[in-house]
Structure 1
Amino acid sequence: AIGQFSEAIAVMLFYRVGEIFEDLAIENSKKSITNLLDIRPEYANLELNGKLQQVKPELLNKGDIIIVNPGEKIAVDGVVESGEAYLNTAALTGETKPLLVTKDSQVLSGMIVENSALRIRVSKEYKDSTVVKILELVQNASEKKTKTENFITKFSQIYTPVIVISAIMLASIPPLFLGQEFQVWLYRALIFLVISCPCALVISIPLSYFGGIGASSRAGILVKGSNYLEALSQAKSVIFDKTGTLTRGEFFVTQIIPANGVSKKEIVKLAAIAESSSPHPIARSIVKNYPGNIARVSNVEELVGLGVRAEYQGDTISVGNMKLMNKLHIDGVSTIEDTTGTVVYVALNNEYFGAIEVSDMIKTDAKVAIQGLKNVGIDNVTMLTGDKKIVGESVAEKLAIPNVRTELLPQDKVTEVEKIKSEIGDKGKVIFVGDGLNDTPVLASADVGVAMGALGSDAAVEVADVVLMKDNPTAVTKAIKIARKTKVIVWENIIFALVVKAIFLLIGALGIATMWEAVFADVGVTFIAILNALRLLKIKEENEKINKYPHSKTEKYKVEVNEA
């Protein structure tokens, strides 16, 4: 009809070339993540009747014994029964330093044994293992869209028919009502159609977020959806739980204060017996500090935010904080003043027996993490803790954290997060970072809940929006940097595509642009936008220099309990 055969061939050729490049770019982005998470084990060496049998990981059951030789991947989560080896955890955590494991160490699927065989007892079936969790998180991440992605999708649904109608009007109105040549305006309408194709936006924006999620995964940060990546980019306030997040969560006994007539050994024995079934780090430290055998207890009652009570040989042992002692109306309790540790009080049959002071160690990279947040413009940092005021303020002072809330019960932490969210309002998002052990309600209440080092916690992985595979608070800053970089690239693509298309639409309607320019305005712009989006897949993890800032350390004391 218009006789432009060479341009028609060129359009088809360039479109095909453009499609090939687009497919390669998208495939490259997917392959990057696939390679990153290529940790799925293909087999396991099952020990059966004294012989080894190679089986699929899906066939393993809890309690099975598997042998993992050097160079092999651990098929499922488990506990080391025997052996000692270094593990390569880079595929899970991004950490290049080998991890030493010995008897009773917990190991995760996807880790690679480097130097010596391990005998491992299976603790989780394959479908519940860490490898499957990671793959599911990344694969499902694309389902949760950002507001920008949803807007572009809705926009294209309206934009496309409007453009088609506009092209029809452009081709028909001038010839019908102004006496213009139909062939000329049909050509201009076709140019208009080619230029106006929204491919650059529809393809590059989801690809940008996909790349951001991939870059995060490479850094050991699992983001459950692009909506959470966008929320991270808008972070204005970061809230940390103290224990297990900023501190190591590895408590040790620093002081034992017995009541009159009671030995130190007796106090620790009672506390260890009552706390023997508790998973809390303080409880574990007390149990570990008792050298004797721990007798079985009955009727153990966990009192949230207070402590624990247990029955032992007809007696009732109460172990907990001062609030528990007050609730039970126990007299003669000696308070320990000016201590930066946590004090655990012990009573037998509501008679005060003494107190045990335990202390936690601040993580060596915690101060780097707080400074890192300030470097990216987040000064509103808060620490929440159930510890008493003097303990919380001491840790906050060492880490230069401006805001601290102490003596909080789990429900109080939720209230504090809601309060901070109302203070921030529409200015940005509130991020909560916890270790996932007792933080699930708070993780759910924040704009973005971040569980740190929580791959072993099913509840945390389920509730958290972001999972940090490293037990390292500096990863929070890294996640925010990647999210902001992603947002910048998304808006670069939006502005670039709209500006170029607007210019070419105008000159196309005026008859200045030819089909060659139209092809560039569509295929060329799309290809450039895709290449820009792929920059996210090249983000390298920055090597944090731990020694850049002075570390806060807590001295460790060894308290013997075999004294009279």
Structure 2
Amino acid sequence: MGKEVKRKWLEIGVGTLFYLAALSTRKYQSQEKTIQCILYLIPYIIISFETYWEMLKGIRKFQFFNENLLMILATIGAFCIGKNAEAAGAMLFFQIGILIEKIAFGRTKKSIAKFMDIRPDSANLKTDTEEESVLPEKLNIGDVIIIKPGDRIPVDAVVTFGNSTIDKKALTGEYEPVEVKPGDRLYSGSINLSGGLEAKVKKLYRDSTASRIVDLVENANNKKAETENLAARFTKYYTPVVILLGILVMILPPMMLPGHETEKWIYRGLIFLVAACPSGLLVSVPLAFLGGIGAASRQGILIKGCDYVEALSKTETFVFDKTGTLTEGVFHVRAIEPKNMTEAELLDIASAAEAYSTHPIALSLRESCKSEIDLGRVDAVQEFSGFGIKAKVDGKDVIVGNYKFMVREGIFFAPANRSGTAVYVAVSGEYAGYILIDDVIRKDVRRLMQWLHKHNMEAVMLTGDNEETAHAVAKELRMDYVYAELLPEDKVEQLEEFIDSQMESEKLAFVGDGINDAPVLARADIGIAMGGLGADAALEAADIILMEDEPSRIINAIRISRGTLRSVKENMIFAVGMKVFLLVLAFFGLVTMQNAIFADMGVMLLNILNSFWVIKYPE
């Protein structure tokens, strides 16, 4: 329990004792109105201090039209007309409502924090003579750490010695442990399950995966959703309106209806102000959004803000990158078609030219080359995004790239007419053949596409791959539109055309691998990065991050977002409807101040319970 909640418990406890004491002496003090007023002022002052303090802070910022103002006006007015017990009681129940709100928010944040408790307390640093336990913040890049079975990995590192299995559930939502060996990457926040490991630190604690994920989730609620801002704006204008209506209730009926007691209508007007308090509405909206973000994080889906939860629920078009998103991004050489050289020579030259590239195609070429590449053979490497690579290999000018690169460089060649990705090679300005490579469609992509089509959403592919390969993948997945042979800037341009053509209320999401799609991820209404674990570009550019390479998790993200918005709308309709009902009852004098506050607490509790199903979204 936080200090703020404990203090509130203490205030309410002490205030309640004084309030009950005042009630117990009421019959003895019936003739002494001053003493009775003082007896009720004591608990009132104890329990209302925070309300007045918040009011003063709001006045300094010119933001004082809220529920605190309504309660202060109503209770001061009640004291002025001698309704002392009602004034103190109304403020007491109002503070109990605030306590319930704090407890609800605290428990929600605690449930998220408990799941996200992935930052380790210590690390085992290997020194020249011994093993030393240090704080993870003290580790430097290049340090060697020892990770024992059961230890949580303190920082991002690379295994240098040992074999083990790693539990990444807290990061990715994936229950199946993964095996690691020397050379494999370790992500902070994962748990070492079996064997002892030695690993070299690759990132400082503050830059490691666990630290950045926790910061993202903790700060997500700072970005307000449109609906949440609407509720705040509604309250800003709602409060002065109900204050005016309350004043009219106090003065108009006695003036227009002869014989009606002025004090009775003043009391009804004060009840009107109490009944108008929008606490139930204000607490339930952010609580539902916070619950949605927490539910998503338990599914291995990081949502950077409440506004993205809302935007995802309105998304009608999903645009996908192909390589590494719809496909695994693990290429395999399927065919080699050389000209004036052998297959082995063509593969050797292409692999050497791609020796320094980290592109998936370059990796596949190097893996297929049986001989180890001597980097001394390679010089003057130039990489052209969206085209290919130029390099000197064994002193010869080599060009390796796609169809557009050959055309741009003026190479006369015969285009491949087979499905797959063709990598063309030219040596000393002469065409030397092509290497055909294939990628594999991810296992769960078909499930995602079927779900999108079932719910009348459009699926579009943007890719730099050739037309034939792109259309073959699009046809297999039954995608609505496909745009091939696009450069990175072409993807951004095409995305902007989609955004310009959609209705204002519709949203567009781009799904990419988060490595080379940063510009498109940033430009889309919602950027969804797949396999964001340890990918800095994904964490920076994307709005939603899938921590595993599983596109079908988008289905869960959409369901959570829609469920969150449904809960928010239900809460708003119920809260506003009950307010109108209470205001009518207050006008006719059918409720007391305490009744009005009790009703508001009831609305708050029901809205909180309605929000909890999002928080408890099944694993």
TM over 0.5: yes
- Structure 1 position 402 matched with structure 2 position 480: yes
Tell me which amino acid in the other structure corresponds to 1:146.
A
Describe the SS at the equivalent of 1:142.
Answer: helix
Counterpart position of 1:548: none
- Structure 1 position 235 matched with structure 2 position 308: no
Counterpart position of 2:191: 112
Aligned pair partner of 2:148 in 59, 64, 69: 69
How far is the alpha carbon of 1:172 from its aligned partner?
3.6
Describe the SS at the equivalent of 2:436.
Answer: strand
Counterpart position of 1:139: 218
Describe the SS at the equivalent of 1:86.
Answer: strand
- Structure 1 position 196 matched with structure 2 position 253: no
Identify unmatched segments of 5+ residues in structure 1: 542-564
Distance in 2 of aligned mates of 1:3 and 1:77: 67
Counterpart position of 1:226: 306
How far is the alpha carbon of 1:395 from its aligned partner?
1.0
Question: Which of 1 and 2 has greater Rg?
Answer: 2
Describe the SS at the equivalent of 2:470.
Answer: helix
Counterpart position of 2:535: 457
Counterpart position of 2:570: 492
- Structure 1 position 421 matched with structure 2 position 499: yes
TM-score (norm 2): 0.84
Distance in 2 of aligned mates of 1:318 and 1:27: 60
Percent identical residues: 43
Counterpart position of 2:41: none
Tell me which amino acid in the other structure corresponds to 1:204.
S
* 1:217-256 deviation per Cα after TM superposition (whole angstroms, max 9, x unaligned): 1111111111111110001101111111110000111111
Distance in 2 of aligned mates of 1:446 and 1:103: 39
Aligned residues of 2:93 and 2:594 also touching (Cα < 8 A): no
Aligned residues of 1:195 and 1:504 also touching (Cα < 8 A): yes
Tell me which amino acid in the other structure corresponds to 2:526.
V
How far is the alpha carbon of 1:303 from its aligned partner?
1.2
Identify unmatched segments of 5+ residues in structure 2: 1-78
Counterpart position of 1:551: none
- Structure 1 position 22 matched with structure 2 position 101: yes
Counterpart position of 1:318: 399
- Structure 1 position 273 matched with structure 2 position 349: no
Describe the SS at the equivalent of 2:503.
Answer: helix
Counterpart position of 1:483: 561
Distance in 2 of aligned mates of 1:6 and 1:325: 88
Describe the SS at the equivalent of 2:349.
Answer: helix
Task: Point out the structure with the larger helix share.
Answer: 2
Aligned residues of 1:444 and 1:463 also touching (Cα < 8 A): yes
Aligned residues of 2:510 and 2:528 also touching (Cα < 8 A): yes
Greater mean deviation of Cα atoms: 432-441 or 514-523: 514-523
Describe the SS at the equivalent of 2:386.
Answer: coil
TM-score (norm 1): 0.91
Distance in 2 of aligned mates of 1:208 and 1:444: 26
Describe the SS at the equivalent of 1:528.
Answer: helix
Describe the SS at the equivalent of 2:198.
Answer: strand
Aligned pair partner of 2:267 in 187, 198, 202: 187
Greater mean deviation of Cα atoms: 159-168 or 484-493: 159-168
How far is the alpha carbon of 1:3 from its aligned partner?
6.2
Counterpart position of 2:471: 393
Aligned length: 537
Aligned pair partner of 2:324 in 240, 244, 248: 244
Counterpart position of 2:489: 411
Counterpart position of 1:11: 90
Aligned residues of 1:235 and 1:378 also touching (Cα < 8 A): no
Counterpart position of 2:388: 307
Aligned residues of 1:69 and 1:117 also touching (Cα < 8 A): yes
How far is the alpha carbon of 1:427 from its aligned partner?
4.8
Aligned residues of 2:461 and 2:474 also touching (Cα < 8 A): yes
Over aligned residue pairs, what C-alpha RMSD do you find? 1.8
Aligned pair partner of 2:598 in 497, 520, 529: 520
* 1:51-79 deviation per Cα after TM superposition (whole angstroms, max 9, x unaligned): 21111111111111111111111111111
Aligned residues of 2:466 and 2:485 also touching (Cα < 8 A): yes
Greater mean deviation of Cα atoms: 153-162 or 211-220: 153-162
How far is the alpha carbon of 1:517 from its aligned partner?
3.3
From the superposition, tell whether residues 143 and 16 of structure 1 become closer, same or farther in structure 2 (CA, over 3 Å). closer
Distance in 2 of aligned mates of 1:258 and 1:313: 18
Aligned residues of 2:533 and 2:548 also touching (Cα < 8 A): no
